[in-house]
Chain A
């Protein structure tokens, strides 16, 4: 890949006495998970192309505490939260964008009470506003006419009522957006939330991600679009389980845009 991405850190910015328009909160998956790192890069490429003045915390970033909180460990969550808030407040961060709905939800909804008040947006929301402001143009490119279905992440959709931003972006690709019968408010979980990602599931007769993948396959998609690194993993595994990985791609909305533009 042609690798010319620019990723300033907050520390560098501060040293130059600058403060960015927006902080990109990368999250643990986006930083360490091999699949999710690609999403992170795709998003950065778009930010670079649109000339967005952003920075990351880099090694000063730490887990938001979401998986600990959902597992019931409120102590650990609040310790993480307070530590992060100290860092964010020290840099006087005003606006945060993240490609992870779990980070998004936690920082947006659960940090304010602990002293961390920021404007928090999901990356699909930032991208739609870049489009509206004319800072970003999207052309169909290679996804023109392709059937794309969008899997609503629970922590973006039901948890925070963001349903349209990712869909708007997909429509902009001149792709055919096909909806699963369980979508938006009725979307079925991928099975990763509530700290399930980090454990085996309880005994049952099916894995949740397989069930959700079956629903996605019913739409006969070329691409299953996701807006969350964890959903992405779950759906990718589901597609592999159905031996469809040759025919169907699982891609983040940011990747769709970056790929369409051949970034």
Chain B
């Protein structure tokens, strides 16, 4: 009979991991709907960038208080998860505190986990207060209504509950150890949970065991739920921040890509030897001509889609955006959230149509992101600079503008004027190119 908990544990663990794997697969498949882009140059620089930005959280400490607390939660959370390893082994083999023989090292580990857990509880509480009572403007934009707001709070509750369970488990364990209860070896240091003793005052050994076991089970089940919650949450960034920073754009921010499809056509137009009526090279003819710019998520590249899944919805970008700051409809955070929402919609469509996307009469442009938002951007790169995980909302805005202009001729009238001036006079204003040097004699 003593096997039963182990079997239950193995089943729960398997289900948790299997479901998580399924979700990750879905993310990878959805990202692959995007266009290929080569971001593997300069691997050395990329590893460094990832270490600095994702691991070292360099951009987070730009706001020192929030940054420090974020690092506490992050480090705390990761390190405490070493404990999960022990829990898994104990759960599968019916042992208790399998690492106890490590002696003083074990004491040190458990002791530091406890201190971190306490710090995480403090930081999470401050984060909650900041989000809900301080009314920082970036947490209250329209795109944060509904699920995104709840999501942010749920994560904080989750972390709080997990930490409290961890400390309760240890606190009860410590009492049991002191009672010399069977099975409960003397191991670990409990700098925080020892203060929970008054709560357990007068409880019988049996009751303590129940408390300890309950907290232990809830803790590990909670972690598995958390792992699977990620897919539905902005919290995915704790995993995706790493690949996302690795694949980040390392070129100067002002350098926008030159569309190769356009280069081909321009070269052809400018080449005096080219025969404009020649039959297209059959090798190059792949059916449909390539679409210029992006109107839906499949037109974006894979890094842009990875960006969308990585976005933490922190709003640092929107906070720095000159358009957002002056009341325009554009919010770079919303661009990323819309991209993710549409990508998820497309993913679900594929799931329910046996692996193939069936047109749903919707697209990213218009149904999610409006032209008004796109035209409000000054291409200033403040959003790119501000993003703590190297996301580039501007590149999506540019690709969608390209679609509006090159596929739909839908630029604002004044811009059409400007462009026809450039085309005809070589300047954005209606001046004659022959007058270009007149300033010399003015």
Judged by a CB distance under 8 angstroms, whether A189 is at the interface is yes
Chain A residues closer than 8 Å to B438, beta-carbon distance:
31
Cα distance A82–B272 in the bound complex, in angstroms: 14
Q: Assuming A159-B254, A199-B415, is B378 touching A72 (CB within 8 A)?
A: no
Please determine whether B422 and A58 come into contact, CB atoms closer than 8 angstroms.
no
Judged by a CB distance under 8 angstroms, whether A61 is at the interface is yes
Interface residues of B in 268-286 (CB under 8 A from A): 269-270
Cα distance A28–B430 in the bound complex, in angstroms: 11
Taken residue by residue from 154 to 181, chain A's Cβ proximity to chain B (1 for < 8 Å, 0 otherwise) reads as: 1100111100000000000000000000
Nearest CB in chain A: distance from B409 CB, A: 10
Please determine whether B256 and A82 come into contact, CB atoms closer than 8 angstroms.
no
Q: Determine, out of A135-143, A200-208, A252-260, the stretch whose residues face the partner at the interface.
A: A200-208
Of B255, B330, B381, B402, the residue contacting A72 (CB under 8 A) is: B402
Interface residues of A in 221-243 (CB under 8 A from B): none
Please determine whether A201 and B376 come into contact, CB atoms closer than 8 angstroms.
yes
Interface residues of B in 58-77 (CB under 8 A from A): none
Please determine whether B440 and A5 come into contact, CB atoms closer than 8 angstroms.
yes
Chain A residues closer than 8 Å to B427, beta-carbon distance:
28, 31-32, 62-63
Please determine whether A211 and B270 come into contact, CB atoms closer than 8 angstroms.
no
Chain B residues closer than 8 Å to A56, beta-carbon distance:
437
Judged by a CB distance under 8 angstroms, whether A261 is at the interface is no
Of B254, B258, B414, the residue contacting A155 (CB under 8 A) is: B254
Please determine whether A74 and B325 come into contact, CB atoms closer than 8 angstroms.
no
- Which residue of B is nearest A36, CB measured? B439
Of B255, B265, B381, B404, the residue contacting A75 (CB under 8 A) is: B265
Nearest CB in chain A: distance from B70 CB, A: 19
Q: Assuming A32-B431, A56-B437, A189-B382, is B326 touching A204 (CB within 8 A)?
A: yes
- Which residue of B is nearest A79, CB measured? B266
Judged by a CB distance under 8 angstroms, whether A114 is at the interface is yes
Interface residues of A in 1-37 (CB under 8 A from B): 5, 7, 9, 26, 28, 30-33, 37
- Which residue of A is nearest B374, CB measured? A72
Chain B residues closer than 8 Å to A32, beta-carbon distance:
427, 429, 431, 435-436, 439
Please determine whether B434 and A59 come into contact, CB atoms closer than 8 angstroms.
yes
Chain A residues closer than 8 Å to B267, beta-carbon distance:
82
Please determine whether A74 and B419 come into contact, CB atoms closer than 8 angstroms.
no
Cα distance A199–B439 in the bound complex, in angstroms: 25
Please determine whether B436 and A192 come into contact, CB atoms closer than 8 angstroms.
no
Q: How large, as a class, is the contact surface on chain B? A: 35 or more
Judged by a CB distance under 8 angstroms, whether A144 is at the interface is no
Judged by a CB distance under 8 angstroms, whether B433 is at the interface is yes
Chain B residues closer than 8 Å to A30, beta-carbon distance:
439
Nearest CB in chain B: distance from A60 CB, A: 8
Q: Assuming A67-B418, A159-B254, A194-B380, is B437 touching A72 (CB within 8 A)?
A: no
Of B325, B377, B403, the residue contacting A211 (CB under 8 A) is: B325
Of A5, A63, A158, the residue contacting B426 (CB under 8 A) is: A63
Cα distance A204–B251 in the bound complex, in angstroms: 32
Cα distance A223–B427 in the bound complex, in angstroms: 30
Please determine whether A208 and B323 come into contact, CB atoms closer than 8 angstroms.
yes
Nearest CB in chain B: distance from A183 CB, A: 12
Please determine whether A158 and B328 come into contact, CB atoms closer than 8 angstroms.
no
Please determine whether A159 and B372 come into contact, CB atoms closer than 8 angstroms.
no
Judged by a CB distance under 8 angstroms, whether A263 is at the interface is no
Chain A residues closer than 8 Å to B112, beta-carbon distance:
none
Taken residue by residue from 231 to 254, chain B's Cβ proximity to chain A (1 for < 8 Å, 0 otherwise) reads as: 000000000000000000001111
Please determine whether A208 and B326 come into contact, CB atoms closer than 8 angstroms.
yes
Judged by a CB distance under 8 angstroms, whether B181 is at the interface is no
Cα distance A207–B411 in the bound complex, in angstroms: 21
Nearest CB in chain B: distance from A85 CB, A: 10
Chain A residues closer than 8 Å to B328, beta-carbon distance:
201-204
Cα distance A198–B327 in the bound complex, in angstroms: 20
Chain A residues closer than 8 Å to B259, beta-carbon distance:
74, 78
Judged by a CB distance under 8 angstroms, whether B43 is at the interface is no
Cα distance A180–B92 in the bound complex, in angstroms: 60
Chain A residues closer than 8 Å to B266, beta-carbon distance:
75, 78-79, 82
Taken residue by residue from 366 to 404, chain B's Cβ proximity to chain A (1 for < 8 Å, 0 otherwise) reads as: 000000100111111110110000000000001001111
Please determine whether A76 and B422 come into contact, CB atoms closer than 8 angstroms.
yes
Chain A residues closer than 8 Å to B262, beta-carbon distance:
74-75, 78
Judged by a CB distance under 8 angstroms, whether B406 is at the interface is yes
- Which residue of B is nearest A158, CB measured? B381
Q: Which of B384, B440, B442 has the most CB of A within 10 A?
A: B440
Please determine whether A199 and B414 come into contact, CB atoms closer than 8 angstroms.
yes
Nearest CB in chain A: distance from B298 CB, A: 19
Please determine whether A72 and B380 come into contact, CB atoms closer than 8 angstroms.
no
Please determine whether A159 and B253 come into contact, CB atoms closer than 8 angstroms.
yes
Judged by a CB distance under 8 angstroms, whether B360 is at the interface is no
Cα distance A188–B322 in the bound complex, in angstroms: 7
The 13 listed contacts between A and B (C-beta, < 8 Å) are: A59-B436, A63-B428, A68-B419, A72-B411, A75-B266, A76-B419, A193-B378, A198-B428, A199-B375, A202-B329, A203-B328, A204-B328, A211-B322
Inter-chain pairs besides A79-B266, A160-B253, 16 sampled, C-beta below 8 Å = A32-B435, A33-B429, A40-B439, A61-B426, A61-B436, A63-B427, A73-B402, A79-B270, A79-B423, A108-B252, A110-B255, A154-B382, A158-B380, A189-B382, A199-B412, A205-B326
Q: Which residues from chain B sit less than 8 Å from chain A, CB to CB?
A: 251-256, 258-259, 262-263, 265-267, 269-270, 292-293, 320, 322-323, 325-330, 372, 375-382, 384-385, 398, 401-406, 411-412, 414-415, 417-419, 422-423, 426-429, 431, 433-440, 442
